[in-house]
């Protein structure tokens, strides 16, 4: 009899794992059942703001592979609209609710992959249940917003939360012609950047005619006839016909926790480098699983599709008898709001201080191409560097087209525990259409190294 793999969650992590497992083991050696609560498999959740903004026109464009393709081409028994409600580790079976037919099914497993994703943070704000208030978590959320915009034609939008999703949704709604206000509890949006970088994000948003209200906490939503009509903060009242919540997310671990699968200190499911939980034959991958942060040297919770895909691949190889490891993350993230590109990797100044590092910082302004080359754009690079050793701890980039992906060099440097004096002579690509003769990344390394030297003298 073939072994049995049950996958909980049919998006990036779950289906990457299922595909890898199938690639390594045919149907006669492995049966695969995958449960998905929603209406879609393997889609790009990161694409939702672009669907809402009309940048991507068809929802199908965001779907990498449909359930029927998994069934037909890969013999993966995908059960859509099935919500797993319990895992029994002793009996080695899961119980799932068939949401369409309102009945329960029970499936046994030899190997179990938990890929339940993330759960949006929803502080208990009065009036949250009004129509017109949306989260942005799964593709169904995106479609719901889309439909609301089309049928209700709201003119005034409030975005609550100035993180990645908040910013991308702000751009989306501006693109659709709405009047947008962004409300952020912290002093700057993008609290994953240091405030000295975040202030330029505020300026950029204001340049796009987005009203930015920082240092304001939402206290209540007002509604008329069940439809949201305003957002109340400590500082006042903002009219709103549609509200988008972008307050972050945490690992969705209730199911794992109830079953007795241990969590890590970050709140994500604790996994080893092979993505196995502390329970034999039970694996976790994606937003629900804890990631090891290679600079902080501890577990963190980061919800990001690229990690989910990689972890799913690693889990799938291991649970089907192979050997592969996922070493961890360095906290890289990129986004854009209209023409403004934002990137970070490693630790911010605030994170470095909190973790007890002794460090210096350096910030430099440069251009994406040779200064004289048409289309050259501004780029600001900040580095956080360990004192004395000169080891890179983190970097942030703000700029226009061609700026953000330079973070990859810095992420690769972090991955290799490089010092800035080793970085500053690196042989990066140079030609006038692509970089100044000293690439901005190298200029920043040069300045950071000078700072390190100053602190020694």
Residue 347 interacting with a copy of itself (CB under 8 A): no
- Compute the least distance from the CB of residue 322 to a copy of itself, in Å: 10
Residues 108, 258: Cα–Cα separation, whole Å:
18
Residue 333 touching a copy of itself (CB under 8 A): yes
By rule CB under 8 A, what string of x and - marks binding of each residue 49-68 to a copy of itself? -x----xx----xx------
Nearer to a copy of itself, 103 or 372 (CB): 372
Q: How far is the CB of 186 from a copy of itself (least distance, A)?
A: 21
Q: Which residue, 226 or 429, has its beta carbon nearer to a copy of itself?
A: 429
In the numeric block, the tokens 């903002």 are attached to 238
349-378 residues in contact with a copy of itself (CB under 8 A) are 370, 372-374
287 to 306: interface string for a copy of itself, x by CB under 8 A: -----------------xxx
One character per residue 153-172, x = contact with a copy of itself (rule: CB under 8 A): -----------x--------
Which backbone phi and psi does 387 adopt, to 5 degrees? -60, 155
Give least dist CB 446 to a copy of itself, A: 8
Residue closer to a copy of itself by CB (options 112, 379) is 379
**Residue 98 Cβ, how far from a copy of itself at the closest point, in Å?**
30
Segment lying near a copy of itself (by CB under 8 A), choices 105-113, 216-224, 379-387, 408-416: 408-416
- Please state, in angstroms and rounded to a whole number, the distance separating the CA atoms of residues 401 and 338: 10
Among residues 19, 111, 137, 335, which is the contact residue for a copy of itself, using CB under 8 A? 335
Q: Give whichever of 44 and 229 is closer to a copy of itself, judged by the CB atom.
A: 44
Q: Are 251 and 236 in contact (CB under 8 A)?
A: no
* Contact flag: residue 309 with a copy of itself (CB under 8 A): yes
Question: Please, are residues 296 and 355 in contact by the beta-carbon 8 Å criterion?
Answer: yes
Q: Is position 288 annotated as part of the catalytic site?
A: no
Nearest distance in Å: CB 400, a copy of itself: 13
Q: Which residue has the tokens 């602190």?
A: 455
Distances (CA, A) of 23 to 31, 32, 392: 12, 12, 39
- In the bound state with a copy of itself, the residue whose beta carbon lies nearer, of 124 and 429, is 429
Question: Nearest to residue 379, comparing CAs of 424, 436, 422?
Answer: 436
Element holding 139 (H helix, E strand): helix 139-152
Q: How far is the CB of 208 from a copy of itself (least distance, A)?
A: 16
Q: How far apart are CA 91 and CA 73, in angstroms?
A: 31
Quote the CA–CA distance of 419 and 182 in Å, as a whole number: 38
From 3, 4, 44, 46, the catalytic residue: 46
> Mask: binding to a copy of itself, 412-441, rule CB under 8 A, as x and -?
xx-xx-x---x--xxxxxxxxxxx-xxx-x
Give the C-alpha distances (Å, rounded to integers) separating 343 from 72, 201, 396, 397, 411: 40, 11, 6, 5, 11
3-class DSSP state for residue 412? helix
The b-or-e profile of 161-172 (16+ CB within 10 A means b, else e) is bbbbbbbbbbbb
- How far apart, in whole angstroms, are the C-alpha atoms of residue 193 and residue 92? 44
Q: How far is the CB of 277 from a copy of itself (least distance, A)?
A: 19
Q: Which of 123, 88, 128, 80 is nearest to 107 (CA)?
A: 88
Alpha-carbon Rg of the chain, whole angstroms? Answer: 23
Q: Residues in the site for a copy of itself, rule: CB under 8 A? A: 12, 44, 46-47, 50, 55-56, 61-62, 164, 304-307, 309-310, 314, 326-336, 343, 345, 370, 372-374, 402, 404-409, 411-413, 415-416, 418, 422, 425-435, 437-439, 441
Catalytic residues: 46
């Amino acid at each position: 009899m073939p072994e049995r793999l049950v996958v909980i969650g049919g998006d990036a992590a779950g289906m990457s794992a299922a595909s890898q497992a199938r690639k390594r083991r045919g149907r006669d050696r492995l049966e695969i059942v995958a449960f998905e609560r929603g209406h879609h498999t393997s889609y790009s959740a990161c694409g939702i703001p672009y669907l809402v903004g009309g940048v991507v026109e068809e929802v199908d464009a965001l779907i990498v592979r449909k359930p029927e393709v998994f069934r037909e081409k890969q013999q993966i028994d995908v059960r859509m609209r099935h919500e797993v409600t319990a895992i029994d580790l002793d009996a080695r079976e899961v119980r799932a609710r068939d949401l369409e037919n309102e009945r329960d099914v029970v499936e046994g497993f030899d190997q179990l992959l938990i890929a339940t994703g993330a759960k949006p943070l929803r502080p208990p704000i009065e009036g949250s249940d009004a129509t017109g208030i949306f989260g942005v978590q799964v593709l169904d959320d995106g479609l719901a917003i889309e439909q609301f915009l089309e049928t209700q034609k709201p003119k005034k939008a409030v975005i609550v939360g100035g993180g990645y999703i908040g910013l991308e949704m702000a751009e989306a709604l501006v693109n659709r012609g709405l009047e947008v206000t962004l409300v952020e509890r912290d002093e700057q949006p993008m609290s994953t950047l240091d405030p000295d970088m975040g202030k330029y994000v505020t300026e950029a948003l204001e340049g796009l005619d987005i009203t930015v209200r920082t240092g304001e906490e939402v206290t209540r939503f007002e509604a008329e006839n069940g439809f949201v009509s305003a957002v109340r903060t400590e500082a006042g009242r903002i009219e709103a016909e549609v509200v988008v919540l972008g307050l972050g997310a945490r690992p969705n671990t209730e199911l794992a926790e109830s079953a007795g699968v241990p969590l890590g200190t970050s709140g994500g499911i604790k996994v080893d480098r092979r993505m196995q939980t502390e329970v034999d034959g039970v694996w976790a991958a994606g937003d629900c699983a804890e990631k090891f942060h290679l600079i902080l040297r501890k577990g963190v919770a980061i919800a990001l599709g690229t990690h989910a895909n990689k972890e799913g691949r690693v889990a799938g190889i291991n649970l089907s008898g192979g050997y592969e490891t996922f070493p961890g993350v360095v906290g890289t993230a990129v986004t854009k709001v209209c023409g403004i590109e934002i990137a970070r990797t490693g630790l911010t100044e605030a994170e470095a201080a909190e973790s007890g590092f002794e460090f210096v910082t350096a910030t430099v302004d440069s251009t994406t191409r040779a200064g004289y080359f048409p289309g050259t754009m501004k780029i600001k690079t900040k580095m956080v560097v360990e004192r004395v050793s000169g080891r890179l701890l983190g970097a942030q980039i703000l700029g226009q087209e061609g700026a953000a992906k330079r973070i990859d060099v810095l992420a690769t440097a972090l991955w290799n525990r490089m010092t800035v004096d080793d970085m500053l002579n690196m042989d990066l690509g140079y030609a006038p259409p692509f970089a100044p003769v000293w690439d901005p990344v190298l200029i920043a390394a040069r300045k950071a190294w000078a700072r390190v030297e100053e602190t020694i003298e």
